[in-house]
Structure 1
Amino acid sequence: MTALFPTYKRFNLAVERAEGTTVEDTDGKTYLDFGAGIGVCNLGHRHPAVQEALESQLNRYWHVSNLYHNPIQEKVAELLTTNTSGDQVFFCNSGTEANEAAIKLARKATGKHKIITFEQSFHGRTFGAMAATGQEKIHSGFGPMLEGFSYVPFNDIDAVKQAVDGETAAVMLEVIQGEGGLHMADAEFVQELEKICAEHHLLLIVDEVQTGIGRTGKPFAYQHYGISPDIITSAKGLANGVPVGAMIAKESLREAFGPGAHAATFGGNPLAMAAGEAVLTHVFQDDFLQDVTKKGQYLKKRLKEAISDVPIVSSIRGKGLMVGIECSEDVSHVVPQLIEQGLLVLVAGSTIIRLLPPLTVNEQEIDQAVDLLRDVLTEKKISSH
């Protein structure tokens, strides 16, 4: 019997320690981690620069209040605004909270309440973020959703046009749907969407909770599309495992979030900011991001060589080190088999094996992971019977 709510379907693995791309369980068995805490530990486990920054901040102070100036918040905010289309930042504790802040800001700044999102999107599990999510299974059992959200098919610009009316405040988009199945937005669709937002005076919100902080080879994934969002949300990789979220917005939205409009007691916590500064200083370097792109290309190349002819493998897709292996059947039973073989992976939907290794992964580790995937998928261990 456990004292925890059964909100997670946990695998038979209890973690003792982790470092780099390696996780060790309480029995001393080691695993190659290609999930990175669901895209959180972008610099791998216990990265020396992040650990040093945390230890240094521990010896200064852990928490005061957002009623006082916190200089390290300014440093992290500047790193975010310098590397995005935004001009100011609100710090919170998670991606869900960042999306809640984005929803509130869009409604308050425009005076309108409707927001268009996309089928198979995922924006979080609080009531606002859950209502923004275009998946019925996320809504099920919780009664009426927050009003004002409409869900249109992904990559369907005509559906967006039809959904816009006089009360539409914003469009909320993931340029790569992570939880929804590693679906990638078409460049033409994204650029046309930005034009529609401009024509109708709608705010364009891009949810970068999973795709941001170097995951796709750019600071943020929207930068592959040549657009300039009004609001960007970030979290997972931002502090390498220390809880943090951020909403980044353009200057024109500053006055809508004046004193009293929104708050987070732990938002911008000094420990999270210390970790965040170390992460962003490291990740937002051209050489590092170019390396992520090269390793992502290498991972996809190796996967195509090794498993593209496996009967159940339908396609291999992704950007940078965010890669999905789409299969023709449910793959939930494959994950425990891969864990047994020493490889930690994720799923997206029911038919996609999702790979989100640390951005610091090396080619030898990629080779090891691909070999393990090939062995499990080709030795007919995929049968659920």
Structure 2
Amino acid sequence: MDRPTHIVTGIYTARPRLRAVSSEGAKVTLSDGKSYIDLMNGKGCVTLGHHHPAVDEAMIRHLQGRHASATCWSDRHEELADRIVADLGLPGARLAFFSTGTEACRAAVQVARAATGRRLVVSAGYHGWGHDWAGSGELLVANPAGVIDFFFVPELLDQVLEQHRGEVALVILSPDHVHLRPETLQRLTAITRRHGVLLCCDDVKQGYRGEAASYFPKAAGAHADLYTFAKGLANGQRLSCLVGRADVLAAAKEFTYTAYFDTLPIVAALATLDHMTRNDGYRRLSACGAALAAGMREVVRRSELPIEIYGDGPMLQIVAATEAMDQVMYAHCAAAGLLLYEGDNQSVSLATADVLDELLQRFADGLAATARQLGPIAPTAVSPHRRFQAAFCMMDGATDVVPAADAIRWIQDEL
């Protein structure tokens, strides 16, 4: 069973190809009647756990009280905007709400172009499916939308900004804390500042996860000019925002959409952020991720399979020595009752901590079945090139543990 026949969108879900029937906490029941532990978590947007009572009850109260409106501003819009701006700590910041991360990233590009009068945008990471982000097929060549990718390689960023001095409106990057060290984010920030270009931290994936708002200022040592948030905001309800410098955000005045006044996602976001703040959620989410990563590494060690676990926080990645081994592993982990995001990041929720031992046992069962199918394996390891490929799947860019010359050569092979 896969997607409904008349839906064209090719979104891949973990094997087996089954339909979701119900969900609660860290588990999803599928149409085979089995309960699976979920590490996809809505591609990372379910941070508290499925159907968390704090969020469900807040939305139910809101609806039963006839408070929902799609016509006017509400006090809750202002309350959430104030909270996000305060969490970020960027002096004088302003904010615009949207439905999806893709919309927020598109808005970042538009306001930067309006504020600077420049057209080119330099990008690293995934910012949505819009035409702005289509590849050009050539290294450091702009696509038809005027976007040039530098793949998180500082040398490439410096080169492209020097080559197009005075033409670049924005550098937009999605900070990765699994395959990138803080020193690399610091270098990227310093290069952007040296060239006098606006910087957008696209925190759709990582924001409001291990830290209220963004971890980027701590990692990079400085604030970006703009930030996008989405996945961590509302425990799976559809909401995003663009927040940043007031002079730049002024250009977003006319950026409206039909559901702008919908209060239900706002209520879900307030309930989510309230719960995270009052219950030490950001630290607990990071601690759960670290415990899961450590437990998985011990399971891998006992299995003697060439598999690496990358990451020590709310997101991690499971990478085998070959893509073929990856597929065998995913199939057996699914059979053992784990929903994994194939080839990409695994995301913990606060509810993951409640099933940690069970999760590790299911992972061990999956790896044991993998080892039985593959038979004896000669001693090997995950190669630097394989890690580069894994990072490319997770963050659309190169890990900084790979020398820049190798990364650039392998990037060219991918184009």
Q: Is the CA contact (8 Å cut-off) linking 1:232 and 1:248 kept in structure 2?
A: yes
The percentage of counterpart residues that share the same residue type is 26
Among residues 31, 34, 41, which one is paired with 1:29 in the alignment? 34
Q: Is the aligned partner of 1:89 residue 2:84?
A: no
- Summarize the Cα distance change of 1:317–1:73 in structure 2 as closer, same or farther, 3 Å threshold: same
Task: Tell me the SS of whatever aligns to 1:238.
Answer: coil
Q: Is the CA contact (8 Å cut-off) linking 1:315 and 1:326 kept in structure 2?
A: yes
- Summarize the Cα distance change of 1:53–1:321 in structure 2 as closer, same or farther, 3 Å threshold: same
Match of 2:273, as an amino acid? L
Q: Is the CA contact (8 Å cut-off) linking 1:312 and 1:329 kept in structure 2?
A: no
Structure 1: how far apart are the matches of 2:370 and 2:51? 36
Query: What does the per-residue CA deviation read over 1:326-354, in whole Å, with 9 as the maximum and x for residues that have no partner?
Result: 221112443333222111111235xxxx3
Q: Is the aligned partner of 1:17 residue 2:22?
A: yes
- Summarize the Cα distance change of 1:224–1:366 in structure 2 as closer, same or farther, 3 Å threshold: farther
Task: Tell me the SS of whatever aligns to 1:346.
Answer: coil
Task: Tell me the SS of whatever aligns to 2:123.
Answer: strand
TM-score (norm: length of structure 2): 0.79
Task: Tell me the SS of whatever aligns to 1:236.
Answer: coil
Stretches of structure 2 lacking an aligned partner (at least 5 in a row): 376-415
Aligned partner of 1:238 in structure 2 is 233
Q: Is the aligned partner of 1:365 residue 2:349?
A: no
Q: Is the aligned partner of 1:161 residue 2:158?
A: yes
Query: What does the per-residue CA deviation read over 1:259-313, in whole Å, with 9 as the maximum and x for residues that have no partner?
Result: x3x2222135200000011111122357222222222221121122111465553
Aligned partner of 1:43 in structure 2 is 48
Stretches of structure 1 lacking an aligned partner (at least 5 in a row): 137-143
Q: Is the CA contact (8 Å cut-off) linking 1:213 and 1:238 kept in structure 2?
A: yes
1:236: how far off?
1.7
Task: Tell me the SS of whatever aligns to 2:201.
Answer: strand
- Summarize the Cα distance change of 1:103–1:21 in structure 2 as closer, same or farther, 3 Å threshold: same
- Summarize the Cα distance change of 1:383–1:191 in structure 2 as closer, same or farther, 3 Å threshold: same
Higher strand share: 1
1:218: how far off?
5.1
Match of 1:193, as an amino acid? L
Structure 2: how far apart are the matches of 1:58 and 1:280? 19
Aligned partner of 1:298 in structure 2 is 291
- Summarize the Cα distance change of 1:99–1:333 in structure 2 as closer, same or farther, 3 Å threshold: farther
Query: What does the per-residue CA deviation read over 1:13-65, in whole Å, with 9 as the maximum and x for residues that have no partner?
Result: 21111111111123432111111111111110111110111112213244423
RMSD between aligned alpha carbons? 2.6
- Summarize the Cα distance change of 1:292–1:246 in structure 2 as closer, same or farther, 3 Å threshold: same
Structure 1: how far apart are the matches of 2:367 and 2:136? 29
TM-score (norm: length of structure 1): 0.84
Higher helix share: 2
Structure 2: how far apart are the matches of 1:299 and 1:175? 22
Task: Tell me the SS of whatever aligns to 2:350.
Answer: coil
Structure 1 residue runs of 4 or more that deviate by more than 6 Å after TM superposition: none
Match of 2:351, as an amino acid? T
Aligned partner of 1:99 in structure 2 is 105
Structure 1: how far apart are the matches of 2:218 and 2:247? 24
Match of 2:205, as an amino acid? Q
Structure 2: how far apart are the matches of 1:223 and 1:305? 33
Q: Is the CA contact (8 Å cut-off) linking 2:19 and 2:31 kept in structure 1?
A: yes
Q: Is the aligned partner of 1:150 residue 2:148?
A: yes
Structure 2: how far apart are the matches of 1:306 and 1:384? 17
Q: Is the CA contact (8 Å cut-off) linking 1:310 and 1:377 kept in structure 2?
A: yes
Query: What does the per-residue CA deviation read over 1:151-203, in whole Å, with 9 as the maximum and x for residues that have no partner?
Result: 1242x3222111112111111111118xxxx532x222212322233232211
Query: What does the per-residue CA deviation read over 1:77-104, in whole Å, with 9 as the maximum and x for residues that have no partner?
Result: 1111111144222111111111111111
- Summarize the Cα distance change of 1:145–1:359 in structure 2 as closer, same or farther, 3 Å threshold: farther
- Summarize the Cα distance change of 1:375–1:223 in structure 2 as closer, same or farther, 3 Å threshold: farther
Aligned residue pairs, count: 357
Task: Tell me the SS of whatever aligns to 2:342.
Answer: strand
Among residues 240, 262, 266, which one is paired with 2:259 in the alignment? 266
Aligned partner of 2:73 in structure 1 is 69
1:383: how far off?
5.4
Match of 2:113, as an amino acid? R
- Summarize the Cα distance change of 1:171–1:320 in structure 2 as closer, same or farther, 3 Å threshold: same
